[in-house]
Chain A
Amino acid sequence: MRAPNAAPLLAVDNLSVDFGEGSPKALSGVSFELRRDEVLGIVGETGAGKSVLARSLLDLLPEGGRIVEGDIRLDGASVLGLSETEQGKLRGARIALIGTNAKALLDPVATVGAQIARVLRAHRACGRREAWAAAVDLLAQVGIVNPERRAKAYPHELSGGMAQRVVIAMAMVANPDIVLADDATLGLDATIQVQVLDLLVKRCRELGAGVVLITHDLGIIAHYCDRVAIMKGGRIFELGEVGRFLEGPRDDYSRTLLDAARVRPTPMAGQGEGGGVTDEAHAKPLLDVRRLEKFFPIAGSTEVVRAIDDVSFSVGRGETLALVGESGSGKTTVGQCLVRLLECDGGGITFDGVDITDMPAKEFRPLRRRLQMVFQEPYVALNPRWPVRALIAEPLRLDPGLDAKGREHRVRQLLDLVHLPLSLAEAYPHELTAGEQKRIGIARALATGPDFVVFDEPTTALDIRVRAQIIDLVRDLQAEIGMSALFITHDLNSVRSLAHNVAVMRHGKIVEYGETEAIFAHPTQDYTRMLLSAELPIEQGLLQRDRAEARRLAGTA
Chain B
Amino acid sequence: MTVAVRLAGFWGTVPRPLKIVVSRLFMLVPQLFGVMMVTFLLVRLLPGDPALLLLGNMATPDTIAAFRERLGLDLPIWDQFLRYVWNALHGDLGTSIFTSQPVVSDLLERAPATLELITYAMALTILIGVTLAIVSVVRPGGAVDIGSRIYGLAAGAIPDFWIGLLLIYFFFYMLGWAAAPFGRIDTFVTPPPAVTGFYTLDSLIAGNPQAFFSSVGRLVLPVLTLAIVNAGALMKMTKTVFADVYRSDFIRHARASGLPERTIRRIALRNCLPPIITLVGFMVGFLLGAAVLVETIFSWGGLGQYAVQAVVNSDYPALQGFVLVAATFILVVYTVVDILYELADPRIRV
Contacts and interface: CB of A to CB of B under 8 A. Distances in A.
Given A104-B250, A109-B270, A154-B346, A97 B8 contact: no
A173 to B, nearest CB: 9
Nearest to B251: A107
Contact of A92 (B257, B273, B344, B346): B257
Contact of B5 (A96, A171, A299, A302): A302
Interface in B1-42: 5, 8-9, 11-12
Contact of A97 (B9, B253, B273): B253
A530 interface: no
Interface in B292-350: 344-347, 349-350
A76 B253 CA distance: 26
Given A99-B249, A108-B347, A60 B258 contact: no
Nearest to B349: A299
Contacts of A302: 5, 8-9
Contacts of B346: 108-109, 154, 156
Given A101-B249, A104-B250, A301-B12, A88 B5 contact: no
Given A118-B263, A156-B347, A302-B5, A92 B256 contact: yes
Contact of B11 (A93, A171, A300): A300
Nearest to B140: A63
A109 B252 contact: no
Contacts of B12: 300-301
* Centre residue among B5, B11, B253 by max chain A CB count within 10 A: B253
A170 interface: yes
A475 to B, nearest CB: 35
B267 A107 contact: yes
B259 interface: yes
A105 B271 contact: no
A110 B257 contact: no
B250 A93 contact: no
A551 B5 CA distance: 64
Contacts of B290: none
Contact of B263 (A106, A108, A122): A122
B279 to A, nearest CB: 18
A106 B250 contact: yes
Interface string A454-481: 0000000000000000000000000000
Contact of A119 (B258, B273, B344, B345): B258
Contact of A90 (B252, B258, B261, B349): B258
B344 A109 contact: yes
A109 B256 contact: no
Contacts of A301: 8-9, 12
Nearest to B345: A109
Nearest to A298: B12
A205 interface: no
Interface in B240-297: 248-250, 252-261, 263, 267, 270-271, 273
Contacts of A101: 249
A291 B149 CA distance: 60
A479 to B, nearest CB: 40
Interface of B: 5, 8-9, 11-12, 248-250, 252-261, 263, 267, 270-271, 273, 344-347, 349-350
Given A109-B347, A118-B263, 9 more contacts: A58-B256, A60-B256, A92-B259, A106-B250, A107-B267, A109-B345, A110-B270, A122-B259, A302-B8
Q: Please provide the 9 A-B residue pairs with the shortest distance between their CB atoms, ordered closest to farther.
A: A92-B258, A300-B12, A91-B258, A105-B253, A92-B257, A104-B249, A97-B256, A154-B346, A119-B257
